[in-house]
Amino acid sequence: MTSAPFSPHAADPDDASPDAASLDSTSPDSASPDSASPDGARADGGARALSHAYLPRSGTDDFSVLSYDLDLSYKVATNRLDATAVIRGRANVRLSAISLDLVHLRAKRVRLDGDKRTRFTQSPTHVRVKAAKPLAAGTEFTLEIAYDGSPVPRRTRWGSLGWEELTDGVIVASQPSGAPTWFPCNDRPSDKAAYRITITTEQPYTVLATGELVDHAVSGGRGTWTFDRPEPTATYLAAVQIGRYVLEPRRTDGVEWVIAYPPALARRVLADFAPVGRMIECFQERFGPYPFPSYTVVVTEDPLEIPLEAQGMATFGSTHVDGRGGSERLIAHELAHQWFGNSVGVAGWADIWLNEGFACYAEWIWSEYSGGPSANTLARSHHAVLRVKPKDLVLADPGVDDMFDDRVYKRGACLLHALRRRLGDEVFFDLVRGWSAAHRFGTASTADFEAFAAGFSDEPLDEFFDAWLRETRLPSLSAP
């Protein structure tokens, strides 16, 4: 076993930047098309290249992860993490080395298929594991990585991402590239895997994490919580939230859900999240069955700029609860992501409108359902705002700097409303329910959605989608 010199607190470059320092994720005999050039471009200009061009140094297509088994021992008081990750994967090409994303944490011991002599090197953003002999395509492998450190968010063009200390606890906010701040992973949204997460921390704290709670034990003043998530989950949607929370369990329309909140915020939280049950009813009717066994809402005592989505979970800050329903549209938005973004994931970040356009449109559907302004009224209002904004964004490929631009959200939602007007309500919602069922627990691209929608229209939709997705001018909401 060997380890290269490593500084866990070295400056973390934005991994989307062309000049970002990184470790090559491939070996000479298994070169990935995405690592062939700084922008991830392939010679054929195919959709696969575009899908990973935004963060070409995050993850690789050379292998797929089947499961992550994470055992985390964490001290809230000192922000100290000692952990072991057991990662089962499958080679997609011939591999002489396996590269995993890991930021600001130190790999101490690595074993590939149980080999105690496994060699590895580490940079500030990756761990590269050398195989004793090349793994043929299709070969399954198991990596065990022991690691430790004081986890901190990584600095990116979108702000700080990943594991972050609260005043008294922890949140994880990973979208799009924060997952490696707390576990070694293949950080691509297209590589979904099963998770088992065990967290041990001080007894007074409640732990909530990706998956269903399968075990909780207390010993020596520390609590251990184990969560299991067999449904395929993207790395950026895996999360751990730690705090002094009260848990309020509910059940609506066959869905188990729970609100976790600090006691001091009880009145405001219970008032503001009262509509969640009706939202579940509304979205199950419009989008199809809720995809996961349960839903968890976490409200932190600390203020947060925006809510955070995770698989089967959404996290809000004290800034999002006022006791008067001031964040109702955001609550609907995050719940809708369980269908669009979490169950049906994006093939790559260029397809982000499939997450955000649907979640934004769900806000308008909820407003319509709950007696507020209709989706048509809201679409017309937001379309009018888009008309006066810059016309330099291509929805199907907004670019890494603009992937979270509000125009992606609103133009995506307006596209869906225009499609609804063209197809009619019955056919449109048949399409939406069909889409969420056909790609349940999978990933999909913009091209996949276009092809799927074509099956619900008597007339070709090529010009419609070209206008909304590939032109910068803003189309009319009126059906052509």
pLDDT at 312 over 50: yes
With pLDDT > 70 as the criterion, what percentage of the chain qualifies? 89
pLDDT at 20 over 80: no
With pLDDT > 90 as the criterion, what percentage of the chain qualifies? 88
* Cα gap 91→69, rounded to integer Å: 18
Are 321 and 363 found together in one domain? no
The residue behind tokens 């751990």 is 240
pLDDT at 10 over 80: no
pLDDT at 279 over 60: yes
> Per residue in 23-42, pLDDT tens?
233 332 233 333 322 233 33
pLDDT at 21 over 50: no
pLDDT of residue 40: 31
- Three-state DSSP at 433 gives helix
In a domain, 20, yes or no: no
Output 477 or 17, whichever has higher pLDDT: 477
In a domain, 18, yes or no: no
Are 77 and 216 found together in one domain? yes
Between CA 400 and CA 403, with CA 401 as vertex, the angle to 5 degrees is 65
Output 49 or 298, whichever has higher pLDDT: 298
Are 413 and 449 found together in one domain? yes
Task: Kindly list the distances between the CA atom of residue 360 and the CA atoms of 333, 367, 372, 375, 415, in Å, as whole numbers in the listed order.
Answer: 6, 11, 15, 11, 11
> Per residue in 251-267, pLDDT tens?
999 999 999 999 999 99
pLDDT of residue 101: 98
Domain at 442, CATH number? 1.10.390.10
- Phi, psi (degrees; rounded to nearest 5) at 105: -120, 150
Domain count, the chain: 3
Q: Which of 273, 264, 67, 300 is nearest to 173 (CA)?
A: 300
Q: pLDDT band for 18, please (50, 70, 90 cuts).
A: very low
Please identify, among 196, 219, 243, the residue that sits at the C-terminal boundary of a domain: 243
pLDDT at 471 over 90: yes
In a domain, 435, yes or no: yes
DSSP 321-352: --SS-TTHHHHHHHHHTTTBTTTBEESSGGGT
> Per residue in 124-140, pLDDT tens?
999 999 999 999 999 99
pLDDT of residue 47: 53
Q: List the domain range (segments joined by +) for residue 319.
A: 246-338
Q: What pTM, to 2 d.p., does this model score?
A: 0.91
